[in-house]
Chains A and B, each alone.
Chain A
Amino acid sequence: MFDLSPDEWTAVALSLRVSIVATLVALPFGIAIGWLLARKDFWGKIIVDGIVYLPLVLPPVVTGYLLLISFGRHGPIGAFFADYLGIVFSFRWTGAALSCGVMGFPLMVRPIRLAIEAIDRRLEDAAATLGAGGFLVFLTITLPLALPGVIAGAVMCFARSLGEFGATITFVSNIPGETQTISAAIYTLLQVPGGEALAGRLVVVAIVLALGALIASEWFARRAGMRFQGE
């Protein structure tokens, strides 16, 4: 079942790389936005909230198109990244990671926000009286207590990235070895007569990866939660 062809392995490896990079890069932003939405009241909070959740409700093709015109080689943000940071998104795996990160972001932010909202803030006050300044309180109290939510958010983003198709193919196309992830490879195989059998193996890989991610997250969250439940 797992004697995949080199091309298929390439697609699987690319999917994993894209998803891991998307999740790791999105995580600090996800924690920051989750904290902001959980803790701060500011003018325009509803708008920030809306923008964060927009990729969840927009057609993925629209999200991909918006990424293309803003982060493409001639888009204003894309040009900046290319000229000043040497990072090119269009038709590269980095672009696939970007679109996966954007699509997974709302799923990442939600559990982080809920976890931070659920923390007893009186513990943070106690930490402050013991000499911890704001950022230290966040690092030593808030973040460890929100850890199950952070893990859940990261896994949701990772799983969403593995499955991302519409925005990615719109933004960076479907180039074998560069932007052809598992989903895109399955799609390509299904366009060819008799490709269903070949696609079947990748379908199994996709199911195994998604299930593995869910089980891993459950295990991590349980371990993290066990340490301080029921005080």
Chain B
Amino acid sequence: MTVLAVDVEKRLGTFALAARFTATGGVTALFGPSGAGKTTLVNMIAGLIAPDGGTIAIDDTLLFDAGAGINVPPHRRHIGYVFQEGRLFPHLSVRQNLDYGRRVSRFLRDADGFARIAEMLDIGAILDRRSRTLSGGERQRVAIGRALLIRPRLLLLDEPLASLDAARKQEILPYLVRLRDAAHVPMVYVSHTASELRQIATNVVRLDAGRVVACGGIELLD
């Protein structure tokens, strides 16, 4: 079943992006070199950047349609987003960061979700710490938990391991694999590292210079 259908175009200065792809359940990798337009594309899916034209639909609901004038704002899209740099709120504790989505929105409350997700990501012991005291790996785990706790229809991960060293990458990857196999949240995973994607992706969309050059399985990573 198609979860996400994207068909958008956007011009940013001399860079032109025109991409069309669909994603089913599992982990769809957006794979390509730096500057291919991967981050721009996920920002459009999240609603942080408006495309110039085209459509974005999730579970058959239109989030964006240039022709019909539809552009659902990010806070109503119900899409989780894990950013490259974590973006934890520095004035809040880990627990408050995790609770942020539940407190500000009317998204379905998930009573046992907090404990389950804290356990899955091994962050139960750091709940009362401030984000600035966390290691890079802990920070990214909290960011993943925070995005999952809004019970998203789709989880976007934009180079979630890029700011970590090799050892930390290997620390986080098992959590992401566990997430893929246990949480049943479809994911769109942006990376330019084939070895990383081989461990996590189920489908691959290859981007280059703002164009989709291939869609298929993980054999596209070779």
Q: Which residues of A contact B (CB under 8 A)?
A: 122-123, 125-133, 136-137, 140-141, 144-145, 227-231
B178 on the interface (CB 8 Å rule)?
no
Report Cα–Cα, A136/B147, bound state, in Å: 18
Minimal beta-carbon separation of A116 from chain B (angstroms)? 14
User: Who on chain A is nearest to B43 by CB?
Assistant: A125
User: Who on chain B is nearest to A131 by CB?
Assistant: B105
Minimal beta-carbon separation of B9 from chain A (angstroms)? 22
Query: Would you give the 0/1 interface string for B67-107, flagging 1 where the beta carbon is closer than 8 Å to chain A?
Result: 00000011111111101010111110000000011001111
Report Cα–Cα, A122/B143, bound state, in Å: 14
B150 on the interface (CB 8 Å rule)?
yes
User: Who on chain B is nearest to A140 by CB?
Assistant: B104
Report Cα–Cα, A140/B101, bound state, in Å: 11
Minimal beta-carbon separation of A174 from chain B (angstroms)? 45
* 8 further interface pairs, Cβ-Cβ under 8 Å (given A132-B104, A136-B104): A122-B87, A123-B87, A129-B46, A129-B47, A131-B76, A227-B91, A228-B130, A231-B131
Is the pair A129, B104 in contact by a Cβ cutoff of 8 Å? no
Question: Known contacts A129-B80, A131-B107: does B130 contact A227 (CB below 8 Å)?
Answer: yes
Contact of B73 among A128, A228, A230 (CB under 8 A): A128
Report Cα–Cα, A131/B72, bound state, in Å: 12
Q: List 16 A-B contacts (CB under 8 A).
A: A122-B83, A122-B85, A125-B48, A126-B89, A128-B74, A130-B100, A130-B147, A130-B150, A131-B104, A131-B150, A132-B100, A141-B89, A145-B90, A227-B91, A228-B130, A229-B132
